[in-house]
Amino acid sequence: MTKPDFNLLSVFLTVYELRSITTAAESLNMTQPGVSTALKRLKKQIGVELFVREGRGISPTHAAVQLANDIRPALEQMSRALLHINHFTPQTERTFNVLVNEVALQLLHPKVEKSLLFEKCRIQFNPVPRTESRLLEMLSLQKADLAIDVGKVNGQSFQTLPLFNEELRLICAKSHPRIDDKISATQYYAEKHITLRLRRSNLFAADYFTKENLSERIISAECESLSSMMALVGESECVGMTGHLFAEKYAKLHDLKVLESPFTGENIVHQLIWHKRNQHSPANLWLRNALCELIKDSAV
């Protein structure tokens, strides 16, 4: 067998991780025919099929899975060695692209704007995509340096780190005629609900962050943002569920009560998400540490 070169293995691993020749070509700054040719050359050299067609996409064979697992550590080590050659200093002018959910944006943006850490290095915050596949694709294609969101991440090529936690709270209008300072599960189900569907899990926040399996509720409205949900709850007799940071920050603005949830809640963990290729990148490591320091210095 001819010894395969580094470039072919790098192309293979990118296609393997992205499951798409089109997306891999974009990530590698190559043409689609160029990527296809590289895969054919590698297939010829090692003598095994690497990918098979599956619907509109491709799926790795068992041999491809084994090859990816074997070569990934070596390629990552080589990438780390190259990264260390590129010196990074926070005094260098640079803009980081960070994908964030609504809570993280409200918490971090004011701190970043006031922080001396970001005098030269800037952060441009953008909303997290609606789907996990798009979020991971943006990190893979280096269209984003980092993401901050809730929920599990499915993908061997990504690392996560908890940044801050929230506790689940129920909100209702202060003038609500049937709810005082506590609410039972029975009362909860009797009320109409303003819900928030989590972007990446396609579940309502209340369902995702409670240990119990919640029964069907009367949904009055479904929102895409916490701000909209809180505004609607404050102007109606409906109830909603959200994390305590956002609820307490905007309760006065929307004339809301913030109550303990009638259910056993899971911690809402907002986590940093990045591609493993950036695990030891001096710039990405500095960015992660800087954001962690900003959170540590606040009373979250």
* Domains with residue ranges and CATH for the chain: 6-85 (1.10.10.10), 94-163+269-296 (3.40.190.10), 168-266 (3.40.190.10)
CA dihedral 289, 294, 298, 300 (to 10 degrees): -60
**pLDDT of 298:** 63
- Give the other-Cβ count within 10 Å of 80's Cβ: 14
CB-facing half-sphere around the CA of 203: CA atoms within 13 A: 12
Give the tens place of pLDDT for each residue, 107-161: 999 999 999 889 889 999 999 998 888 899 899 888 999 999 998 888 888 999 9
Nearby residues of 164 by Cβ (< 8 Å), 6 or more positions away: 107, 270, 295, 300
CA distances to 56, 79, 83, 134, 285 from 30, in Å: 21, 19, 21, 20, 28
Give the tens place of pLDDT for each residue, 218-232: 999 999 899 999 999
Look at residues 224, 195, 14 and name the one whose alpha carbon lies nearest to residue 127. 224
- Give the other-Cβ count within 10 Å of 274's Cβ: 21
Range of 112-121, 230-239, 288-297 with top mean pLDDT: 230-239
Q: Extract the tokens encoding 260.
A: 């303990």
Q: How far apart are CA 275 and CA 163, in angstroms?
A: 16
Give the tens place of pLDDT for each residue, 82-114: 665 566 888 888 999 999 999 999 999 999 999
**pLDDT of 39:** 93
pLDDT band at 27 (very low <50, low <70, confident <90, very high): confident
Specify the 3-state DSSP secondary structure of 96: strand
**pLDDT of 90:** 86
Please state which of the ranges 65-74, 177-186, 203-212, 276-285 shows the lowest mean pLDDT. Answer: 203-212
Burial class (CB in 10 A: 0-12, 13-18, 19+), 43: middle
Task: Give the percent of the chain with pLDDT over 70.
Answer: 94
Task: Give the percent of the chain with pLDDT over 90.
Answer: 61
**pLDDT of 133:** 86
pLDDT over 80 (residue 299): no
**pLDDT of 84:** 59
pTM of the model: 0.76
